[in-house]
Structure 1
């Protein structure tokens, strides 16, 4: 019954906001049919899954981002690790809006925790009626997001062939995930904003040290330069916080990031035996316009 209700809630939301969609195969407009699928003028159709998401990929995408990773990321998020980041993003959105319905896209949404929390914070601040869309190529993340927030719009899709219509969004979020600036240009309204979060040198440094990995976050300077090459930078906001994770959260902190994929067994075991772990969130929020 829950899954059936999820599909109906998702279909109703997609019906209300059907103008946001375009067929990824032929770029024509789309409509919801029988509360079960999105179909375009040319007859291309995409079923709404029972959990409440829609899969626009012609074939499954190979990805190491699995259910375990997304579940752990959700648990760490619920602990409050990302709360300061989500609050700062929300404050920046609220500072820019004028009393009108908003359309917000999270490009690379994962399991949806950032988008869901930001929309909750906006609603608590009196900003109602925002259409929230999450897009990610990893089906497991969208499935988890939709099962919890079926009234939002969750899409499994390739960023390069987005199933979303030109000039549809007031804000695009891109949080610690790869960018597709050409799609951001296409999807943003002329007066819209791109909010991109990039990692700093100390981001998750405790895990990097424990795993003895030589890899570092991508150079913040290079990421910001690439952002400036594609968008006019309006604001750059650094954020660094440290959270004390108890023993029950440490396995999830390990599992939520690809940093652990190549860690040796001894390093993993040593980290899991700790009674607590201080973990650093070190990011910069870039805000830009076309």
Structure 2
């Protein structure tokens, strides 16, 4: 982790001026606002998050275990391939989780640098450990982001909250926004067993409408497969996402095994002036 490379992504969350290194482990703006940089390789610029939920260590452990099975490798490869076609030099992953998808993208872009952002400090810690090319930021996507105007050529947003106006601001001219959402029948077999919360229908249309006039759809790619999951993998899958926040007492039993539909939609949207 370099204070200089980290600072080059960021602006002050208070006055919005650019941040600069203040050795040994701080960033500061010209107005004198200063922020400590964690020895684990990230800076926290999150304002009060109130009752907002974010990924816990247990959820991230479950996600690491599930993704290690390769069950979502096809999605990771599709995302990496799509971004490699556009050759971005600077990438921001908003809602980075463990950094699994960002790491896959960087494997196809050996000269690119990245900023992994999440509200969960544990998630950002894991993401920055994947590569020396990944800087880390703890921030709240619902607030004005402490990222400089035009700082990124690409923004990744994989199963994560979105802030369209801020994405537009931090992207360079003609930058690309890559958004992954679940398909309508994603993991339907587990939803039928009441093991997961439902997917809201029509998410694709809602996504496009929510982004407004600042983005135009360049491409939409569907990634589908059937996963043969063990009970252990299903337990990790249930525990790694939003359903982990809603698990009721007496939840239905995890089956010993199950064939499950994996269905994703990858939207590639180009930034345009408004």
TM over 0.5: yes
Question: Which residues in structure 2 correspond to 1:244-255 (within 5 Å)?
Answer: 244-255=228-239
Structure 1 position 222, deviation (Å): 2.2
Match of 2:56 in 1: 66
Say what the alpha-carbon RMSD is for the aligned residues.
Answer: 2.2
Task: Summarize the Cα distance change of 1:215–1:246 in structure 2 as closer, same or farther, 3 Å threshold.
Answer: closer
Structure 1: which 5+ runs fail to align?
Answer: 1-9
- The answer as to whether partners of 1:194 and 1:288 remain within 8 angstroms in 2 is yes
SS in 1 for 2:148: coil
Task: Summarize the Cα distance change of 1:223–1:180 in structure 2 as closer, same or farther, 3 Å threshold.
Answer: same
Tell me the distance in 2 between the aligned counterparts of 1:87 and 1:129: 18
Task: Summarize the Cα distance change of 1:212–1:74 in structure 2 as closer, same or farther, 3 Å threshold.
Answer: closer
Among 156, 167, 180, the alignment partner of 2:138 is 156
Tell me the distance in 2 between the aligned counterparts of 1:134 and 1:28: 21
Q: How many residues align?
A: 268
- Do structure 1's residue 84 and structure 2's residue 67 form an aligned pair? no
Structure 1 position 110, deviation (Å): 1.7
- The answer as to whether partners of 2:116 and 2:128 remain within 8 angstroms in 1 is no
SS in 1 for 2:85: helix
- The answer as to whether partners of 1:72 and 1:256 remain within 8 angstroms in 2 is yes
Match of 2:148 in 1: 165
Q: Structure 2-normalised TM-score?
A: 0.89
Higher helix share: 1
Structure 1 position 143, deviation (Å): 2.6
- The answer as to whether partners of 1:15 and 1:31 remain within 8 angstroms in 2 is yes
Match of 1:29 in 2: 18
- The answer as to whether partners of 2:63 and 2:240 remain within 8 angstroms in 1 is yes
- The answer as to whether partners of 2:6 and 2:136 remain within 8 angstroms in 1 is no
Match of 1:105 in 2: 92
Deviation string, structure 1 residues 184-231 (Cα, Å, up to 9, x no partner): 110110021111112211112122112166733352232233346441
Task: Summarize the Cα distance change of 1:154–1:212 in structure 2 as closer, same or farther, 3 Å threshold.
Answer: closer
Question: Which residues in structure 2 correspond to 1:189-204 (within 5 Å)?
Answer: 189-204=172-187
Task: Summarize the Cα distance change of 1:20–1:263 in structure 2 as closer, same or farther, 3 Å threshold.
Answer: closer
Structure 2: which 5+ runs fail to align?
Answer: none
Q: Structure 1-normalised TM-score?
A: 0.84
Question: Which residues in structure 2 correspond to 1:1-290 (within 5 Å)?
Answer: 10=1, 12=2, 14-16=3-5, 18-59=7-48, 62=51, 63-97=53-87, 102-120=89-107, 122=108, 127-149=109-131, 151-159=133-141, 160-211=143-194, 215-220=198-203, 221-227=205-211, 229-268=213-252, 270-271=253-254, 274-289=255-270, 290=272
Structure 1 position 275, deviation (Å): 2.6
Of 167-176 and 61-70, the range deviating more from structure 2 = 61-70
Tell me the distance in 1 between the aligned counterparts of 2:13 and 2:113: 20
Task: Summarize the Cα distance change of 1:38–1:218 in structure 2 as closer, same or farther, 3 Å threshold.
Answer: farther
- The answer as to whether partners of 1:200 and 1:217 remain within 8 angstroms in 2 is no
